Amino acid sequence: MRDRLILLPGWGLGVSPLEPLAAALRGLNAHLQVQVEPLPTLTSSNLDEWLDELDATLPDNAWLGGWSLGGMLASELAARRGERCCGVLTLASNPCFVAHDGWPHGMPAETFDAFLAGCHADSQVTLKRFGLLCAKGSADPRGLSRLLVSGAPHTAPGVLMPGLELLAQMDTRAALQGFGGPQLHLFAGLDGLVPAEAAGDLLALLPDVEIGLIEQAGHAFLLEDPHGVAGAIQAFLHGCVDD
């Protein structure tokens, strides 16, 4: 199924931010089947349980991709599937979302902890704050944040919290190093959630994969410029097929 691409969304905002990108990809390649799949609705933050759910739900032998948390999960699932995955692509996905000694360019741990506490206290207020951070660096931050939050599903705090906890603990470096298929990782220069420097760190870790930095864009660059992002993805997929 080298003509099937599965895209997974980020935390909390549902599938809506990925729909314009999926439509743009279909417009570029009528033969490409693009599926936007929601994240599992689990009350556990155990990574293996999330991967078990995705592995059982998503078709085999497809390209796996995703935005932010979705890209991190796509990376882990690609590594698990190995040759049963055509390749992996991530959009604004940091291998480690939260910074630590071994990966300095992530969200500061104290900032994330405050975010986690805020979600526990009032998940809807936290989701609005998250929308603003996603839209930071865009041409119209307030308009984009409203668009992101208005399209978000009404998810119970008991499902939102495990996703945040999963973000805090995930480290996809070993998965990406262990996956032998083609990879594309796109970052944004003005991202308010994933520091742009993470692109350079990942390139140092994986010098043989494609890594791009869209300088004048924020975390939600896939919604700001779906046609531009679709063009980059289509060029990557086309190059892999030619190889």
What the block records as the tokens of 33 is: 């089947």
pLDDT digits (tens, 9 = 90+) for 187-224: 999 999 999 999 999 999 999 999 999 999 999 999 99
Q: What pLDDT is recorded for position 2?
A: 76
Tell me the pLDDT band of 98, cut-offs 50, 70 and 90: very high
More confident residue, 134 or 155: 134
Q: What pLDDT is recorded for position 155?
A: 82
What the block records as the tokens of 161 is: 């919290």
Please compute Rg for the chain using Cα positions.
16
| CATH of span 4-242 | 3.40.50.1820
Tell me the pLDDT band of 144, cut-offs 50, 70 and 90: very high
Per-residue 3-state assignment (H helix, E strand, C coil) for the chain:
CCCEEEEECCCCCCCHHHHHHHHHHHHHCCCCEEEECCCCCCCCCCHHHHHHHHHHHCCCCEEEEEECHHHHHHHHHHHHHHHHEEEEEEECCCCCCECECCECCCECHHHHHHHHHHHHHCHHHHHHHHHHHHHCCCCCHHHHHHHHHHCCCCCCHHHHHHHHHHHHHCCCHHHHHHCCCCEEEEEECCCCCCCCHHHHHHHHHCCCCEEEEECCCCCCHHHHCHHHHHHHHHHHHHHHHHC
Q: What pLDDT is recorded for position 28?
A: 94
pLDDT digits (tens, 9 = 90+) for 32-44: 999 999 999 999 9
Query: What is the rounded CA–CA span in Å between residue 81 and residue 158?
Result: 29
pLDDT digits (tens, 9 = 90+) for 10-40: 999 999 999 999 999 999 999 999 999 999 9
Q: What pLDDT is recorded for position 242?
A: 55
Given a cut of 80, whether residue 85 has pLDDT beyond it is yes
How would you list the strands of the sheet with 183-188, edge to edge? Answer: 33-36, 4-8, 62-67, 85-91, 183-188, 210-214
Question: Apex CA 188: angle with CA 182 and CA 194, to 5°?
Answer: 90
Catalytic center residues: 68, 191, 219
More confident residue, 77 or 115: 77
239-242's contacts with Cβ under 8 Å and 24+ in sequence apart are 240/86, 240/87, 240/182, 241/2
For the chain, which residues make up each domain, given as ranges? 4-242
Given a cut of 60, whether residue 175 has pLDDT beyond it is yes
Q: Locate tokens 């990376």: which residue?
A: 75
Instruction: Residue count of the chain, please give it.
Output: 243
Q: Locate tokens 């990557």: which residue?
A: 236
Q: What pLDDT is recorded for position 157?
A: 81
Please check whether residue 134 is in contact with residue 218, taking contact to mean a CB–CB distance below 8 angstroms. Answer: yes
Given a cut of 70, whether residue 243 has pLDDT beyond it is no
Q: What pLDDT is recorded for position 124?
A: 87
